[in-house]
Amino acid sequence: FLDLKVTYYSAEYVEALVQSEAQKNLWTQDEMDRYKYQLLKTLKLNECIVFHFEFDNAGSTMHMAPFDSFLTLWVGKKKLSPVDYDKRFNFALGGKRDCMVWFPRYDEKTDKPLLEKVLTVKLDILGGISPITTNRQFLSFIWDVTKDNPQRLYQGKAASRLELDRLIAR
């Protein structure tokens, strides 16, 4: 069998993840702010649309190099390719592995947010990723993004630190 789980990192999901970790670890507000800062810095949500992939392959070894060539994100009628991904997926896969994949959040020509006025996003994965899925042209995942607003994550101390980092880098 092949078990594949793909998670879209919406602002609501990230906020719930931060709250869950804080409650589980009994963090203070300062510890929670530091965790949120590190998470936002790592995810690059202000620049990218982020997905987390989890594979559990109990079938034949999967060969997905280059992994980004197997992925297409449809935002409205726009077809997007990943800007970055975990390169471990370019190696043969047997067993469990997870990774992050980043797609552009802004149109490179107009610099406008791609998710603006879009109802859903669809992620297509070519069926050729595994002998188990070769009978399918695509494996498709669809998310409702009408209420996703990543800018609401950038409030408070974590946002101040990220802005400071941005200014220092300039």
Residue 159 has pLDDT above 80, yes or no: no
Region for residue 52 given its phi and psi (left: phi exceeds 0; alpha: psi -120 to 50; beta: otherwise)? beta
Residue 156 has pLDDT above 90, yes or no: no
Sequence-ordered list of residues with C-beta below 8 angstroms from that of 136, at least 6 positions apart, any chain: 127
Residue 82 has pLDDT above 80, yes or no: yes
Residue 76 has pLDDT above 80, yes or no: yes
Closest CA to 37 of 169, 164, 170: 164
What pLDDT, on a 0 to 100 scale, did the predictor assign at position 112? 92
Cβ pair 6, 141 in contact under 8 A: yes
What pLDDT, on a 0 to 100 scale, did the predictor assign at position 134? 80
Q: Which residues are 80's β-sheet partners?
A: 73
Q: Outline where DSSP puts E strands in the chain.
A: 2-8, 48-62, 71-75, 78-80, 84-85, 93-104, 120-126, 138-144
8-12, 29-33, 163-167: least confident range: 163-167
What pLDDT, on a 0 to 100 scale, did the predictor assign at position 54? 97
What pLDDT, on a 0 to 100 scale, did the predictor assign at position 169? 77
**pLDDT tens per residue across span 56-66:** 999 889 999 99
Residue 165 has pLDDT above 90, yes or no: no
